[in-house]
Amino acid sequence: MSLIEFHLDSRSGVPTYLQLVQQVRHAVQLGILKPGDQLPTVKEVVTALTINPNTVLKAYGALEAEGLVEGRRGQGTFVASGAPAPVVDDPGAIRAALRRWLERARAAGFGDDAIAALVAEELRDESRRVA
């Protein structure tokens, strides 16, 4: 059983491999994945998402290049021991901050669509900067 499960958003415009990279980063940052944990095998990801194996290899390659994970020959890919510790110990704090931000947005007259668009755009810009 895999420790994490990937999801794809086909309408986000973010390349598939980058979505995988972000989801692993995210999982490490939130402490869902800890050093030594194994990532889903390429075959597991391919079967679950019906995506090209080379895409998974590319995503894992990118994560390896930034030192977040390490490939062990014949075993799979694992979260590296040197991976940064979770930045936030308490996801609840983030959520509270988001709720405050939402209240401000509502007060400024933003509707659901405008808020969603704002977040999506910001995420896309961020992913482009990181990539």
Partner 1 sequence: MTPALETHGLGRRYGSKWALRDCTLEIPRGSVTALVGPNGAGKTTLLRLAVGLARPSAGTVRVLGLEPRADAAELLPRIGFVAQEHPLFGSFTVAEMLRTGSKLNPTWDDEAARRRIAELDLPLDQKVKSLSGGQRAQVALTLALAKRPELLLLDEPVASLDPLARLEFLQSVLEVVSDGELTVVLSSHIVADLERVCDHLVILSVGRTQLAGSIEEILASHRLLTGPRDEAADVARTHEVLRESHVERQTTLLVRGGAHVYDSRWTVHELGLEEIVLAYLGQGSGRRRETVAS
Binding region for partner 1 (CB under 8 A): 8, 10, 13, 15-16, 42-43, 46-47, 49-56
CB closer to partner 1, 15 vs 35: 15
CB of 12 to partner 1, least distance (A): 11
Contact of 54 with 47, CB cutoff 8 Å: no
CB of 67 to partner 1, least distance (A): 23
d(CA 72, CA 88): 28
CB closer to partner 1, 16 vs 63: 16
In 3D, which of 14, 12, 26 has the Cα closest to residue 94? Answer: 26
CB closer to partner 1, 2 vs 47: 47
d(CA 59, CA 25): 11
